[in-house]
A and B are shown apart, each in its own frame.
Chain A
Amino acid sequence: MTTGEMNIELKDIRFHYGKITALDGVDLTLGEGACGLLGPNGAGKSTLLRILLGFLNPAQGEGRVLGYDIRKDQFLIRRSVGYMPEDDCLIPGMDAVTFTAYFGELSGMPRQEAMKRAHDVLFYVGLGESRYRLLETYSAGMKQRLKLAQALVHDPKLLFLDEPTSNLDPQGRTEILDLIKDISLKKDIQVLVSSHILTDIEFTCSHVVILNKGKVAAQGELEALKEIQFSLYELRTKGETAGFLKGLKDKGCRVEKTEDELMKIYMPADLSRTEIFRTAALENVQIRYFIKSRTSLEDLFAETVGVD
């Protein structure tokens, strides 16, 4: 992919279902890296995904996915896109290898290639040992991995994951999230994750798109979006803090204590943060937690979707 070429480019996309406006002018550009797709229910996420997968023609606007036109080259798009649906889906009576190879074939792979690739992909997602078992015997975590396998079998350049950790126990969740992170580190697979679990998005994605009421409410690199302009640090300490707090205030900081014993320190622009540690050393206070405050994704979401 040459520089300047984005994986997804959408301009002014509009769509209505009868009288209901689902998408009201969506502009989107996505390049490398994993991107999280967020939004309240009814924001237009599913409609957007349908248009990106080439199922719906937008009423207005144009776009390209992987360089293919979303109106004219829908088939070509679907050949290079993998979709991992939210719901359980399987075909009873098949085993994992047959299942995965079958869908590889339907994506356009030659039969033998599909079979070979199915084995590889099943090992990759961790189903190697159970790939000859019937799908009805699979647990929830295994079914989730199977869905990922069928999305990967034809080596897509764009991967859509819809609620990839739903119904998984804590172990299953970490395993799928690790897989997603691993895939997204491959520079040439664009991963788009739609999820309501913000910690998952924070773990796997470097970019986010927040949709609300059919429009893009926020878009960009996660780190950049969460950045706050002024110097604010969050701390947890152990020890007698009275002297510590006074020392900081004397240097010109403003200190707040939140519930849950988190300390927030607003630093003046010309003060180095090492001064916090100097004061702590002086007053014999342990600093057990120290981070530069950023907006949490949750707060960012609430802000952009503008509610409560």
Chain B
Amino acid sequence: MTAVIRTQSLSKWYGNVLGLSDVSLEIEPGITGLLGPNGAGKSTFLKLITGQIKPSIGTVSILAEPIWNNVRTFAKLGFCPEQDSFYEDMTGWEFLTRLLSLHGFSAAEIEARAERALRFVELAKDKDRLIRGYSRGMRQRLKVAQAVAHDPQIIILDEPLNGLDPLGKRKVIRLIKDFKEAGKTVIVSSHVLPEIEALTRSIVLLHQGKILAQGDIHYIRDLIDKHPHKISVMCSNPRRLAARLVGEPSVQNIQFGPGPETIVFETRDRDVIFGFLPRLVVDNAIDVEEITSPDDNLQAVFDYLTGK
């Protein structure tokens, strides 16, 4: 797959404050999660790839063209910012149609697109209310609407689920997945890692202005050598299981708990362990209730990489 967004040695300083340093990556169609601690450079990165600021060093190209002042490419970009900055005295409809008119569509097209976008985010019945009267969730949905109304190829969403109730979040998550199905490129930045995990397995982790990791969550997890994989088993007789595992060289660490029926052990060779686990369990009459991998998720990857 060809890269949709490509950056080369991208760096940005504000005076002597570091924003981003030497970020080279390629983002392909589909959903990419962007994460990092506060101050890691996420907003700088998003501003650079949407052409809002100029890099100090390096290049950004979208769809094989440089982004700076590239009006043609802007038309293919949709951005949903984190902050709320609306014209409070406009109605949702006015706001959306005026933004659409900046794209140069005909009046009929503007109306059609606005209708479709508002229906998409389920704001159709509130379109003639002043934005001042909108709730938080409605504002968030309006932001998403303006990001997609012009049918962009690339959609960038900064904390899109902020302030939404669980049902609102579901709707937006479904929307984002629909974009992926439609072949678009979506970048979602969020602090709530379980929510990113619900969307995608492909992430970019920024830390102190640099890329710390990029790719599939589970693949990255495999590469973190320092922390062997944890496997948690909840069963009827954890000590018997532990006794059988102690002699196994690929088991590095066994811990009891939390709770009286759980053991957690660590291994670098999951294939071996999972290979004989079913036989072990059956032969020793152990009734297994649960098997999970407590640190094979995004939060664990984040914690391990940012060095907690």
Chain A positions within 8 Å of B, measured between CB atoms, are 38-42, 139-141, 165-174, 196-199, 238, 272-274, 277-278, 280-281, 284-292, 298, 301-302, 305, 307-308
30 A-B pairs with C-beta separation under 8 A: A40-B166, A40-B168, A41-B165, A41-B168, A141-B38, A165-B192, A167-B191, A169-B37, A170-B299, A170-B303, A171-B37, A171-B306, A171-B308, A196-B164, A196-B169, A197-B192, A274-B285, A274-B286, A274-B288, A277-B278, A277-B282, A278-B278, A280-B278, A281-B281, A286-B271, A288-B274, A290-B290, A290-B292, A302-B167, A302-B170
One digit per residue, 1 when the CB lies within 8 angstroms of any chain A CB and 0 when it does not, for chain B 154-168 equals: 000000001111111
Q: How far is the CB of B186 from chain A (nearest CB, A)?
A: 18
Residue of B nearest to A237 (CB): B274
Which residue from B135, B194, B278, B288 sits with its C-beta under 8 Å from A281?
A: B278
- Cβ contact within 8 Å between B165 and A196: yes
Q: Please give, as numbers and ranges, the residues of chain A lying within 8 Å of B166 by CB-CB distance.
A: 38, 40, 196, 198, 298, 301-302
Residue of B nearest to A272 (CB): B287
Which residue from B135, B137, B167, B282 sits with its C-beta under 8 Å from A307?
A: B167
Chain B positions within 8 Å of A, measured between CB atoms, are 35-38, 135-137, 162-170, 191-195, 270-271, 274-275, 277-279, 281-282, 285-293, 299, 302-303, 306, 308
Shortest beta-carbon contacts, A-B, top 7? A286-B274, A281-B278, A280-B278, A290-B291, A281-B279, A199-B194, A277-B278
- Cβ contact within 8 Å between A169 and B38: yes
- Cβ contact within 8 Å between B193 and A170: yes
Q: Please give, as numbers and ranges, the residues of chain B lying within 8 Å of A165 by CB-CB distance.
A: 192
Total A-B pairs, Cβ < 8 A: 115
Complex Cα–Cα for A141 and B38 (A) = 10
For the complex with contacts A286-B271, A301-B166, A305-B167, 12 further pairs of A-B residues with Cβ separation under 8 Å are: A39-B165, A41-B137, A168-B191, A171-B308, A174-B303, A196-B166, A238-B274, A274-B286, A277-B282, A286-B278, A287-B291, A289-B291
Q: Please give, as numbers and ranges, the residues of chain A lying within 8 Å of B278 by CB-CB distance.
A: 277-278, 280-281, 285-287
Q: Please give, as numbers and ranges, the residues of chain A lying within 8 Å of B169 by CB-CB distance.
A: 196
